Every structure is written in structure tokens, then in C-alpha cells.
Amino acid sequence: MNDIPTRTLPARKRIALVAHDHKKDDLREWAVYNKSVLAQHELLATGTTGHLLQKALDLPVHSLLSGPLGGDQQIGSLIAEGKVDVLIFFWDPMEAQPHDPDIKALLRLGVVWNIPIACDRTTADFLLTSPLMHEAYEAKLTDYSDYVARLKPKV
């Protein structure tokens, strides 16, 4: 029998919050509206967004670097290390970003590690109101061992 790898998302989630410049106000308003739920979890964010949220929520928010300076990559790394459980990323689809490859990589890692991702307010509302948000959850991971084996050089 082929065992499917899993990862347990704890009841107290580690939520990464990211917003492009034209979406920072939207994320701030959403976070203030959902402050009581967010207060039950650990929050981290890219630079400016983190400082903005900490001030608006009066809650601890671990701020990383600004997105264009490597913050998106830092969050991606934390996802790969199993240190981020949920990604809320209010991105601006109408404006090109100079760090688009970093953004694509961040979203890719979220999908590879099968974590919940919200890229707009409606999806973020659905995520936060899910009963699964407040309990441990066993996420199934894609078994990439076959892919990794194909990458190894033949000797």
C-alpha cells in the first residue's frame, strides 16, 4: 500500500499575510474586521504590511522583509519548512510587479505544500469562517519522490 505523506496543520495556525501596495488598505480593513479570529493565531507578514497590521490590530505580527526585498521568498522558505499554515495574499492583478517571479514562486510553494491560500477578500472570509480553521487538520501532500528520483543522474 502506498502511504500518502501528510502534514498536520495545528489548531493555532501560523498565518502569513501579504498585500501589494494597492491592496494594503483592503487587507488592513479585512484584518480589523476579523481581529477576534486572527488574535487566536500566530501572524507574520512581509515588511510594510506587517507594520501596518500590527498598528491597526494592536496584535503581535512578526514582520519579515518587504516583498520586493525578499519577504516573499522568506515566506516561501517558511512554507517549505512547514512554518506557515495559511497564506492570505491580497495581490493586485491589474498592476505588474517588479518581483513577479517571486510572487509566482510563493504561490507555487503554497500549492506544492498544500496549504490554504486566499488571494481575495471573499476567499479569505471563507477560510477564516471554516470550522477547520480552529482545529488540527491533516493535509495530504503530493508524493514527489518519483519526480525527485527522475532528477537523480543515472550512474
Active centre residues (catalytic): 72
Structural element, H or E, at residue 145: helix 145-151
Please provide the DSSP assignment of 19-82 as one string: E-GGGHHHHHHHHHHTHHHHTTSEEEE-HHHHHHHHHHHTS-EEE---GGGTHHHHHHHHHHTT
Instruction: State the residue for C-alpha cell 517558511.
Output: 78
Q: How many Cα atoms occupy the beta-carbon half-sphere of 79 within 13 Å?
A: 27
